[in-house]
Structure 1
Amino acid sequence: MKKLLPFACFILILSACNNGDQDKSDFKVAVPGDETESIASMPAKKLALDQWTYIEIDSNKAMWGEFDEPEWLRYFGLAAGDMNDDGLADIITGRNIYYNPGGDLSSNWKKEDLGLNVDANLFMTRVTDGPTIIAEALPDVYAFYRDQDSGELTKRLVAQVPPTGHHNGQGYRTASLRGGMFDDIILASQGGLYVIEPMDYGLEYDENGEEYLVGDEDNAWPVTLVAQDASDEGFAVADMDGDNDLDIVSGYRVPGKDAEVPTVVVWWENPAENGFIDTLWARHEVGNTQFATDRVEAADLNGDGLTDVVVAEERYPGLEPDASLYVYFQQSGGSFKRATIVTQFSMNNLDVADLDQDGDLDLTTAEHKGEALTLQIWENDGEGKFNKLVIDTGKESHLGARTVDIDGDGDLDIISIGWDQHKYVHLWRNDAIKGM
């Protein structure tokens, strides 16, 4: 373990320009990522953001290319959830489950191989299967769960979506798009965003107590393309128009332009009516980026009741510090005003959460390129101005800097994986509540 003390510098929004026209993360297991937590539930004292302990969970994680083509491919998946019903959030990435040792998290994290070369990226709890991992080996999508009789890990091929240019997708979430109590699976892949509807199966009981069979475990789960030409990178899920259903925000691949460098940010309007979403969603423009739209989040960042959008740019090969972190503040009437938070090395990492529990939403990001490889918190002042805190340096992150309460103490920890440094699984334990 390594105790870390961040340094801070106050940075206002650097620039703004007009651009025309609630995220439910899969990582906030112990503290769900609904960015609407009431002020009444906040602790009496604002949490410090300078109490972090680094824990190396793994330094020998394999890469996809060690088992299958292409040889250069790493894993993109990262999720957290309780896979063994001990009340603690385990970490799921690539083809492995890392079991939470409890305590101060510094003991050995038992590593279990899924037994198949897949890129596990989502966790959900299902009525028939219990704790479930969703994993890609595109075009195949698998569900892994514990057999309730033997306790053995079992897999099922549940759906198919097209493979991406990087084989597996880099955008994945679960959310209740139909407005019910059960989540859909949303995957970014070739051609756009696909919604998979998990189907339950097994014995149910009618009002007279008679058994009847629901579904067929051999049947595929329905798949619908809802956002055509959306980027196969990160996307957000949030209510963008205040109509009480969840929309999607993503990069957009303009037909005829470079599909690998989407520079248009859009939101896709959920047409849900009576639970049906099986149609292409209407597209609305948010604004533009200079370089590739990579990670996307959406939440109200300035307290005006309107959902804003955050985008972290990717730069390849990333030799220069010219990637920007943008906020698109939603205006009355539905237009957006872009502001630049920072321009630095490529940021393929982003999350939004109230880390200091002061009632507004902060940002986490990390540099994927450059010499410093900083892990950063951008503390929100409540009005959409951000104070930068560097939590750690020298540890590359890719699709990381995710917030989740790993030790169950009520504050949010941070987890990461890498691409260039793909062998590592990182955890930064938040000791803010312990220090109060």
Structure 2
Amino acid sequence: MKVFSVLLIIVFSLTANIFPQVQFAAHIIVSREYAAVFAQSVYAVDVDGDSDMDVLSASAQDRKIAWYENDGNENFISHIITTEASGAQSVYAVDVDGDSDMDVLSACWSDDKIAWYENDGSENFSAHTVTPNAVGAESVYATDVDGDGDIDVLSASESDDKIAWYENDGNENFSTHTITTGANGASSVYAVDVDGDGDIDVLSASEDDDMIAWYENDGNENFSPHIITLYANGAQSVYAEDVDGDGDIDVLSASAEDKKIAWYENDGNENFTTHTIATGALMATSVYAADVDGDGDMDVLSASAAIEPLYQGEIAWYENDGNENFTTHTITTSAYGAQSVYATDVDGDGDMDVLSASYYDNKIAWYENDGNENFISHAITPAADAARSVYATDVDGDGDMDVLSASFLDNKIAWYENDGNEIFTPHPITTGADGASSVYAADVDGDGNMDVLSASYDDDKIAWYENDGNENFTTHPITTSADGARSVYASDVDGDGNMDVLSACYGDDKITWYENDGNANFITHTITSAALEATSVYATDVDGDGDMDVLSASAEDDKIAWYENDGNANFTAHAITTSADYVQSVYAEDVDGDGDMDVLSASSYDDKIAWYENDGNENFTSHPITTAADGAFTSHPITTAADGAWSVYAADVDGDGDMDVLSASSNDNKIVWYENLGPVGIVNNDPPVVPAQPLLYDNYPDPFNPETTIEFDVAGHHPVTLKIYDLQGREAATLINERLPPAHYKVTFNARNLASGVYFYHIRMGDFQAVKKMTLIR
């Protein structure tokens, strides 16, 4: 893999008030980069040949085909195969080129492409197009259709109503053969010897004509269509297996509009009788068959998107009693917008586990069968869906800094285990914090290990999760009356030696503390009920008088405030700023190392993470801060690219002795840490100069080796892409691919892994495009 070093700087006018600034470098722990955004398809196979089961996914919005490497203990490491699979709908794997390793195939709706990705044996994948003309491609499958010993490819494409197969000439050159263009809204393809005559037949599902069909191969790859049913309303998926154990191939379907899972019994002469398995699979999208319970007969699985209630989705299995009477068992109702289901022995324990891909929560998951068909859910993609809060502490007591998160849409509190090299493994604590909005950690029960606390908005709950010392967590509610709970924190507020808890509540404008009686029983005390739409709470000794003060953020009044503790837990309110635009989070730490407590904030309307420098005099009451140059605190933006900035925290993440900053942002689902690089460079407190028009500048130096700087102006709020191409027009690097606010920018490009030669850098901002040439000389 080629690695490029890129540094992006927003440049302001340098005219006055010059002083050293603490700078930060961003490192992503979890984001959509690691999720499967609008996940459509899942498949499992041993990709890397290490004898355990890896997982593949196709996801539409991020144009991604990915594989997840199983380390042998069902910890999955994400590897991207491509991000050029536009509107990816389907993924499959087989040894396409016969070199004894596992290649991957995809079907992509947006670019009409069926592609295969050649594995070089070390799991480096090269993309090859099978066809660019499967219009609205929905499904891909591969097998030796013509019996010549190599792997051919099949597709179903919705917009041209086509089922096709692509003949491999033995050198992976593919010739297109159309089986039919009469499968209206073709959605799924599968191939098997339906009639038992020794050649490969083909099956299809098509949603616009409600049809399940099979195409009889005469042995010379001439296919005759046979309708199995025209009553699979909104047919989405087809599969084939000997369901009744009579030695012939039966067919299964999932259809969305009639909520139906069905199987079609083959009488041995390819006359099919319809049997309904279920009619409650709301928006059924996928069907599969396997012996789930190990009793020797064929059970059935389904995925259903289940958009009522909103976003709910179900993975289910249907137990065959041996006489093809099926009993429904729900595996999960939390695969939101479920699109695909598959079954295999993921963990190698001899029973059948289940996998799913779900669209609305961007999730690839597997469900561990305990041997008694009780299923434990495990997320493979470490997404934090609508991340709202982040915190760092040593959860597992191994001497490095782990990370915790709260994510709103998946109701999840999770912790990410640091291996000591800042590589993080996700572990869910709960998915029952409805509208999870805040997370914190402290030794609540005084047993010497780190417990976790949460605030959840939808269920008005403040809870703590007791760590048994092995990072197994037991849930304990503190209150279920925290109206619109948005933030939680813990500190010894009253100085009695045990851990109290604080909350900020959006619904009732309250900042509250819960007094711990020493046995983790909590008594409620209100600090204020005038923090309008309170979003965040924190506690520290702001004024250095030896007791614990409290800070709050409130969105409606754009205010950050602190509440002075008189030593008896009586609090006096002081404003820090009323200009933090819809502020969501507050935190305090000595960011600049000058011995007093500074304040940090995250505000969502201006996408800003900022810190407020304390001059050591705590003159908050007489000098409320409204501008960067006013009063006791000076504001320093760390970033204005945290889309929907929601939470901020500080800790020495990398152990280099200074304070780094972490943030969670809701709109881009990111958890990021900003590495403190120390006081380097200069900055001005004047407002940024907004460019009048977009512009791309000449790079400098040029020629260069290996670094050069590219500058550009963004004049409006546009998605910006900045890419490098070689003389043949091949993309060599993507430097920028995100929405940027108006400003002047610098990008430092390090081409240490590129050969000498002429390159072009191309920028696109809305309707504006420009390209310039540069020369790399070794």
Normalising TM by the smaller chain, what interval? 0.5 to 0.7
Q: Which residue matches 1:242? A: 495
TM-score, normalised by the number of residues in structure 1? 0.59
How far apart in 2 are the matches of 1:152 and 1:4? 29
Runs of 4+ in 1 over 3 A off after TM superposition: 2-8, 53-72, 113-125, 130-147, 151-155, 157-161, 423-429
Unmatched runs of 5 consecutive residues or more in structure 2: 1-6, 40-304, 313-360, 364-378, 620-631, 682-778
Alpha-carbon offset, residue 3 of structure 1: 5.0
How far apart in 2 are the matches of 1:63 and 1:152? 14
- For residue 542 of structure 2, the aligned residue among 292, 297, 301 is 301
Contact 1:53–1:430 (CA under 8 A) maintained in structure 2 = yes
Q: Deviations over 1:212-266 (max 9, x none)?
A: xxxxx9xx743221234235311221111111212111125xxxxxxx5231211
CA change 1:341–1:154 in 2 (3 A) is closer
Q: Which residue matches 1:225? A: 477
Q: Which residue matches 1:89? A: none
CA change 1:5–1:337 in 2 (3 A) is farther
- For residue 185 of structure 1, the aligned residue among 442, 447, 452 is 452
- For residue 559 of structure 2, the aligned residue among 295, 303, 324 is 324
CA change 1:60–1:339 in 2 (3 A) is same
Alpha-carbon offset, residue 349 of structure 1: 2.5
Q: Which residue matches 2:23? A: 52
- For residue 376 of structure 1, the aligned residue among 596, 610, 630 is 610
The amino acid of 1:186's aligned partner reads L
SS in 2 for 1:399: strand
Contact 2:31–2:671 (CA under 8 A) maintained in structure 1 = yes
CA change 1:284–1:143 in 2 (3 A) is closer
Alignment of 1:58-137 (within 5 A): 61=33, 66=38, 114-115=380-381, 124-126=394-396
- For residue 583 of structure 2, the aligned residue among 342, 347, 354 is 347
CA change 1:174–1:342 in 2 (3 A) is same
Contact 1:62–1:423 (CA under 8 A) maintained in structure 2 = no
How far apart in 2 are the matches of 1:152 and 1:362? 28
Contact 1:95–1:116 (CA under 8 A) maintained in structure 2 = no
Alpha-carbon offset, residue 7 of structure 1: 10
Contact 1:410–1:433 (CA under 8 A) maintained in structure 2 = no
- For residue 364 of structure 1, the aligned residue among 584, 587, 600 is 600
SS in 2 for 1:348: strand
How far apart in 2 are the matches of 1:291 and 1:245? 30
Higher strand share: 2
Structure whose alpha-carbon radius of gyration is higher: 2
Contact 1:235–1:248 (CA under 8 A) maintained in structure 2 = yes
The amino acid of 2:516's aligned partner reads N
- For residue 405 of structure 1, the aligned residue among 641, 652, 661 is 652
2:466 paired with 1:197: yes
Alpha-carbon offset, residue 355 of structure 1: 0.9
TM-score, normalised by the number of residues in structure 2? 0.35
SS in 2 for 1:179: coil
Unmatched runs of 5 consecutive residues or more in structure 1: 9-47, 73-93, 97-112, 202-216, 253-259, 316-321
Alignment identity in percent? Answer: 19
CA change 1:117–1:408 in 2 (3 A) is closer
The amino acid of 1:181's aligned partner reads G
CA change 1:426–1:182 in 2 (3 A) is closer
Alignment RMSD: 4.2
Contact 2:413–2:439 (CA under 8 A) maintained in structure 1 = no
The amino acid of 1:366's aligned partner reads A
Q: Deviations over 1:322-342 (max 9, x none)?
A: 421111111244321111111
How far apart in 2 are the matches of 1:339 and 1:152? 39
2:635 paired with 1:389: yes
CA change 1:6–1:375 in 2 (3 A) is farther
Matched residues, number: 313
Contact 2:488–2:536 (CA under 8 A) maintained in structure 1 = yes
Q: Which residue matches 2:437? A: 170
SS in 1 for 2:645: coil
Contact 1:134–1:143 (CA under 8 A) maintained in structure 2 = yes
Q: Which residue matches 1:207? A: none
Contact 2:452–2:464 (CA under 8 A) maintained in structure 1 = yes
Alpha-carbon offset, residue 193 of structure 1: 1.3
Alpha-carbon offset, residue 288 of structure 1: 2.7
How far apart in 2 are the matches of 1:382 and 1:414? 21
